[in-house]
A and B are shown apart, each in its own frame.
Chain A
């Protein structure tokens, strides 16, 4: 590195020397390279991005480990229920009606004489599907509306925000009850259509929270210098959104989405309990709880096991969401 006093025109050198004599502040000291030598080079280990940092945090978080194990078990249960039970949940015999737990049927039998353990295992599929599909739908709808209103601002924002407010004013459960009552399912409706209806009812009313979070997150990110810097260096609006705004504003949305995944499973159970969500022959925890409700006092096992699984599932997703939030935003801890 050359001596800075030797650069510039003779005039500039003169001015510089004069300032140096006078000891003026903020004039460069020649030859100081403290910064370079103080830098650790090479031995800093593998570079880590924010997401990698978050992952390092998560790996050590017992909350995350427990949550992940629970969720993994539940997902496997939903995908391959036959791994957990060899009993067919649909082969029932009325002679077993409301039998309490025994060595033959660990969780006892329900009103129709079906194995409660098998039905609880098979019930995971509907609940998890509803939870995942609803969360995905909510993230897409809410995320898109949030980005558009946050990024473009002005009248676009006004319209999008008012639409959000209108949907926010409709209570989730009441609205879904109305929707599902208007388009009821029967025993003949295919299973996926029944699930789809519930997902639709929950998603169409549930996206507002995510839209609002996305919007405020985008507004915060869009005013960051790196967004302006990207524009100054020639990035298009599309590029600014996908490369700079979206990745930086996603964290709070992911956290809330994970926590609400549990809540959607709970809402599905509520709707099924009310008899308008999932319908038999679909097997679901909500339906099982509904069936058991009448016999709580005489046969509590019919209620206890599906309710336990439901609670643990909701709990697992909330725990996971909390852990992810801690990792992504340590300030909230």
Chain B
């Protein structure tokens, strides 16, 4: 380990009583030829050790961009973080110089990606790629690194890990590749793990196995897990809290039980209604009409108003209230959350 490396205490006590990761009022914009797109517009959330936060939303709502901004792997240009803070145990990562920030990646915060085939380098064997983590960050020898790689592959339940350690990514099935990606990301015992749609590219049965593995690893290592997904089924299983994002903002944040039983935002409600159910077989599947707005031209007022069944004049004129606390654990940003909550309209 070099002198510049930050030593991290084992275990996961956070400094003071602040959660391990605090994202506050994060602003990210993409400067494109057509104009400036506010991809993330004042997102705040926190995750503590052992906690799972699910970030839910349609494609293009800013959930992955938020994650990239936290990791500091945003493509700049065109993406720029223009405001807010990302505090890891009290250190604002956004204020750190590049070199120092890099020491947090992999060591403290790690990330796994949607498509594990393209997230693994095709020219190296999987064992070598996992071993790299130890060789780069821990200065281990090639042999020790490979031994650790086998250990990790066993930990993520890859059958016959010893025989397969020298195989290449294309020789594994989708689920196995995702396990290898997970093995790489947990190699250095990070305190925060961001999983960006970890199961989207997998089929349903494999999804369950991978989610279960993630949940087990999180429990064993007391990691904070940020799970980015658009799949409500995946979330129900493992999340403690859900943050629903729309057009770069969090529109509703609540414990998983509340979201599923009594959504308070029309968008959340729409998402839940559009899950196909066997007991409604034959009936038309509900879909939220319209598409998410172009982030360069977000509609005035509430950005969801053109698609919202509850929309009134006030929604077209005034921006929605800031994320408003309903009770201790719930928050919502909607003029009509009371009506949605009680299902009084429609």
Residue positions of A touching B, CB distance < 8 A: 1-2, 4, 7-9, 11-12, 14-16, 19, 22-30, 32-36, 38-39, 41-42, 44, 47-51, 154, 224-226, 228-236, 239, 243-244, 247-248
Determine the distance from Cα of A14 to Cα of B237 in the docked complex, in whole angstroms.
10
Contact with A along B256-271 (1 / 0, CB 8 A): 1100100000000000
Q: In the complex the two chains form, is A225's CB within 8 Å of B118's CB?
A: yes
Q: In the complex the two chains form, is A26's CB within 8 Å of B176's CB?
A: no
A-B contact pairs, 30 of them (CB 8 A): A4-B211, A7-B215, A11-B255, A11-B256, A11-B257, A12-B237, A14-B257, A15-B236, A22-B278, A24-B233, A24-B275, A25-B204, A26-B275, A28-B233, A29-B208, A35-B173, A35-B206, A41-B160, A42-B160, A225-B115, A228-B73, A229-B111, A232-B106, A232-B111, A232-B113, A233-B106, A234-B104, A239-B136, A243-B121, A243-B124
Q: In the complex the two chains form, is B212's CB within 8 Å of A32's CB?
A: no
Q: Beyond A28-B204, A34-B205, is A42–B176 a contact (Cβ under 8 Å)?
A: no
Determine the distance from Cα of A15 to Cα of B239 in the docked complex, in whole angstroms.
12
Any A CB within 8 A of the CB of B123:
yes
Q: In the complex the two chains form, is A26's CB within 8 Å of B234's CB?
A: yes
Q: In the complex the two chains form, is B164's CB within 8 Å of A226's CB?
A: no
Name which residue of chain A comes closest to B174, CB basis: A35
Q: In the complex the two chains form, is A228's CB within 8 Å of B209's CB?
A: no
Q: In the complex the two chains form, is A49's CB within 8 Å of B237's CB?
A: no
Q: Beyond A225-B118, A229-B181, A234-B105, is A26–B160 a contact (Cβ under 8 Å)?
A: no
Chain B residues with CB under 8 A of A50: 122-123, 168
Residue positions of B touching A, CB distance < 8 A: 71, 73, 77, 102-107, 110-111, 113-115, 118-125, 132-133, 136-137, 157, 159-160, 163-164, 166-168, 171, 173, 175-176, 181, 184-185, 188, 204-209, 211-212, 215-216, 231-234, 236-238, 240, 255-257, 260, 275-279
Chain B residues with CB under 8 A of A2: 212
Chain B residues with CB under 8 A of A1: 157, 209, 212
Which of B167, B211, B236 has a CB less than 8 Å from the CB of A47?
Answer: B167
Determine the distance from Cα of A24 to Cα of B79 in the docked complex, in whole angstroms.
37
Name which residue of chain B comes closest to A232, CB basis: B111
Chain B residues with CB under 8 A of A224: 118
Determine the distance from Cα of A9 to Cα of B238 in the docked complex, in whole angstroms.
9
Q: In the complex the two chains form, is A16's CB within 8 Å of B120's CB?
A: no
Q: In the complex the two chains form, is A16's CB within 8 Å of B119's CB?
A: no
**Within the complex, what minimum Cβ distance (angstroms) separates B98 from chain A?**
9
Q: List the 6 closest A-B pairs by CB distance, nearest first.
A: A28-B208, A23-B278, A234-B106, A26-B233, A234-B105, A233-B106
Determine the distance from Cα of A50 to Cα of B136 in the docked complex, in whole angstroms.
24
**Within the complex, what minimum Cβ distance (angstroms) separates B93 from chain A?**
13
Q: In the complex the two chains form, is B102's CB within 8 Å of A234's CB?
A: yes
Max chain B Cβ within 10 angstroms of own Cβ: one of A22, A25, A29, A234: A234
Name which residue of chain A comes closest to B203, CB basis: A35
Determine the distance from Cα of A28 to Cα of B175 in the docked complex, in whole angstroms.
14
Chain B residues with CB under 8 A of A244: 121
Determine the distance from Cα of A225 to Cα of B64 in the docked complex, in whole angstroms.
13
Determine the distance from Cα of A225 to Cα of B73 in the docked complex, in whole angstroms.
11
Determine the distance from Cα of A9 to Cα of B215 in the docked complex, in whole angstroms.
12
Q: In the complex the two chains form, is A234's CB within 8 Å of B233's CB?
A: no
Q: In the complex the two chains form, is B212's CB within 8 Å of A19's CB?
A: no
**Within the complex, what minimum Cβ distance (angstroms) separates B240 from chain A?**
8
Chain B residues with CB under 8 A of A248: 121-123
Chain B residues with CB under 8 A of A47: 125, 164, 166-168, 171
Determine the distance from Cα of A225 to Cα of B118 in the docked complex, in whole angstroms.
5
Q: In the complex the two chains form, is B73's CB within 8 Å of A231's CB?
A: yes
Chain B residues with CB under 8 A of A232: 71, 73, 105-106, 110-111, 113
Q: In the complex the two chains form, is A33's CB within 8 Å of B102's CB?
A: no
Chain B residues with CB under 8 A of A231: 71, 73, 105
Max chain B Cβ within 10 angstroms of own Cβ: one of A2, A14, A15: A15
**Within the complex, what minimum Cβ distance (angstroms) separates B315 from chain A?**
30
Q: In the complex the two chains form, is B136's CB within 8 Å of A226's CB?
A: no
Determine the distance from Cα of A243 to Cα of B160 in the docked complex, in whole angstroms.
27
Chain B residues with CB under 8 A of A15: 236, 256-257, 260
**Within the complex, what minimum Cβ distance (angstroms) separates B99 from chain A?**
8
Determine the distance from Cα of A254 to Cα of B244 in the docked complex, in whole angstroms.
49
Chain B residues with CB under 8 A of A51: 123
Which of B107, B234, B260, B275 has a CB less than 8 Å from the CB of A234?
Answer: B107
Which of B164, B166, B232, B257 has a CB less than 8 Å from the CB of A41?
Answer: B164
**Within the complex, what minimum Cβ distance (angstroms) separates B332 from chain A?**
19
Q: In the complex the two chains form, is B233's CB within 8 Å of A25's CB?
A: yes
Determine the distance from Cα of A49 to Cα of B115 in the docked complex, in whole angstroms.
20
Chain A residues with CB under 8 A of B124: 49, 243
Determine the distance from Cα of A33 to Cα of B115 in the docked complex, in whole angstroms.
21
Chain B residues with CB under 8 A of A14: 257
Name which residue of chain B comes closest to A9, CB basis: B240
**Within the complex, what minimum Cβ distance (angstroms) separates A67 from chain B?**
24
